[in-house]
Structure 1
Amino acid sequence: MTQPIRWLQDEIADRMLQKLDIVKLDVRDILAIPDFHGKHFSTFAKRFPRAIIHSIAEEGVSNFQIRLNKFWANWRALFRCSRAGPLAAYRSSGKINLPDNSVDLVFSDLLLQDLADPKLFLQECRRVLREGGLIVFSYLGPDTGKELRPLQDASFQLKNLVSSWDMHDMGDALMGERFSGPVMDMEYLTLDYEKPELLLTDLEALKLTPPSSMKGAENAVLPQKITLEVVYGHAWAIGKNLAKAQDNIAYIDLNQIGRKTR
């Protein structure tokens, strides 16, 4: 997300946290990917006052901004946060700069739609989650911006979301990566606009149209609203040390092998 649409990211983070009100979780370490300066810091500070927040900040968000926001939410958070690298580093490597089994909660707000293969992201999240940890995420689904599809022509082009997974695709992927108890839901949000220039600014911020389409839009009759399909999900990292099966061969973690005592 970029600055023009930051309010949306903040609003979705708030809705994600509301959905967690009924979840009981002992949290020592939180991974926020992507991280940004928003209201979620105060909720983290209230609900998990002793947790360390590991930030993977998105482009355009400085480490100073994040630390300052954490400070105002809870001054102790200034000393209980770490930088796990910028989001650009994760995009290029596909690796989260944290050890195995190092966090209890992964909080990912509006990222998955920009990843070519969300399955690789799920694998990394399961790697860094401790046994019994939780992944919580939101992303834009394939119906986002559907009002604009009939308008496409040589002068005005839309970009498809990098990932077009719907919530059923994501639920299947969570099960395939051996997450437990996945819960998925979805809602439609409608954004209304008084001026087409504001609509185009948000479309670019949402990565739904390239900058070159700004000129082409001058001759297009744009709608006064767009629909966002927001998909929410969470799942547990349980049974990380259980035997794994691949190609009809069972692989057993060494930690499962114990010496029998008399």
Structure 2
Amino acid sequence: MSSERPPTIDPVAAARWHAAAPAASPWLHEEVARRMEDRLQWIRQAPASWCHWDPVRGGLQAHALVSARYPTARCQLYETSTHCEPVARQALAKPWWNPARWGAGALQMGPPADASVQMLWSNMALHMAADPQDLIGRWHRALAVDGYLMFSCLGPDTLRELHGVYAAMGWPPAGHAFTDMHDWGDMLVHAGFAEPVMDMERITLTFATPERLVQELRELGANLHPDRFPSLRGRRWRDKLYQVLSERLPDPGQEGQLALTFEIIYGHAFKPAPRVRVSSSSAVSLQDMRAMLRKGGTEN
């Protein structure tokens, strides 16, 4: 398996976006989170604790939905973007006089300790990570044995219409290539997860004007392709872009509005008990040894 996924992402640009992305939940992120939350009905065991990873961009309204489904679960809120943390704290932390602040469902801020949560929830973040395998590994470490991961991200069919326009005009790529759901499944297994379940759907968004379309894209993300336009473009190029989008993106099936496709990938996987093959010399971490003892031993 390649360690270069996604192969067309500029890590410097990705870090810059992560540090400066709007501290708000885009409409599409909230909608995807709502659909992902609905999938929790198939999870039989309610978590005693869960971590919401990057809730501001992932969906503040969705946080309320998950919290309502698991009202007694302890929640760990972790914002990896410094500028988003105060927004999350103000929006989601209980006031000091609220009894819920001290109850079973109390909210905690900061990175989750290793093996500390039964569910890790991450919405629409993985496709913007320059090193997704490292991020998945961090999620794996935060989960307790038998805990599970719920995540969503964009798939490779996203913005296929826009990519087609850029290619037809001879312009540099409109964005980096998004990873296929089967490759995400491979990376989950590589990180130590078990029984990954991946599925996808396509959502079509329509826009009355090219200006509104571009505004939405700016709220959702940025072009992280290494071969993107290397410098700022002027008003003349912007006007040309609007003209081309107006001519090439109208969809007769959407009453002539400009249409863009978004492929949404949903992923779910468990963290199994560690297994170690016994040889003449075996090294086992203290944390893994404790987990194996609770589960009943090693594999011969």
Give SS of 2:214's match. Answer: helix
1:1-262 superposed matches below 5 A:
2=22, 6-36=26-56, 38-57=60-79, 58=81, 61-63=84-86, 65-69=88-92, 71=94, 78-79=101-102, 80-84=106-110, 97-152=111-166, 153=169, 158-161=174-177, 164-209=178-223, 212=232, 215=235, 216-220=237-241, 221-222=244-245, 223=249, 224-240=258-274, 242-243=275-276, 251-253=283-285, 255=289, 256=292
Give SS of 2:26's match. Answer: helix
Is this contact kept in 2: 1:130–1:237, CA < 8 A? yes
Amino acid of the residue matched to residue 49 of structure 1? P
Moved more, 249-258 or 102-111: 249-258
Unaligned runs of 5+ in 1: 85-96
Cα distance in 2 between the residues matched to 1:195 and 1:214: 20
Unaligned runs of 5+ in 2: 1-20, 224-228, 250-257
Superposition TM-score, scaled by structure 2 size: 0.69
Query: Cα distance 1:140–1:64, how it changes in 2: closer, same or farther (>3 A)?
Result: closer
Is this contact kept in 2: 1:4–1:202, CA < 8 A? no
Cα distance in 2 between the residues matched to 1:49 and 1:68: 17
- Higher-Rg structure is 2
Give SS of 2:65's match. Answer: helix
How many residue pairs end up in the alignment? 239
By how many angstroms is 1:43 displaced?
A: 2.3
Is this contact kept in 2: 1:103–1:130, CA < 8 A? yes
Cα distance in 2 between the residues matched to 1:53 and 1:231: 24
Give SS of 1:20's match. Answer: helix
Amino acid of the residue matched to residue 62 of structure 2? H
Cα distance in 2 between the residues matched to 1:219 and 1:135: 44
Amino acid of the residue matched to residue 51 of structure 1? A
By how many angstroms is 1:50 displaced?
A: 1.9
Superposition TM-score, scaled by structure 1 size: 0.79
Is this contact kept in 2: 1:28–1:104, CA < 8 A? yes
By how many angstroms is 1:32 displaced?
A: 1.0
Amino acid of the residue matched to residue 41 of structure 2? D
Aligned alpha-carbon RMSD (Å): 3.0
Provide the identity percentage.
Answer: 26
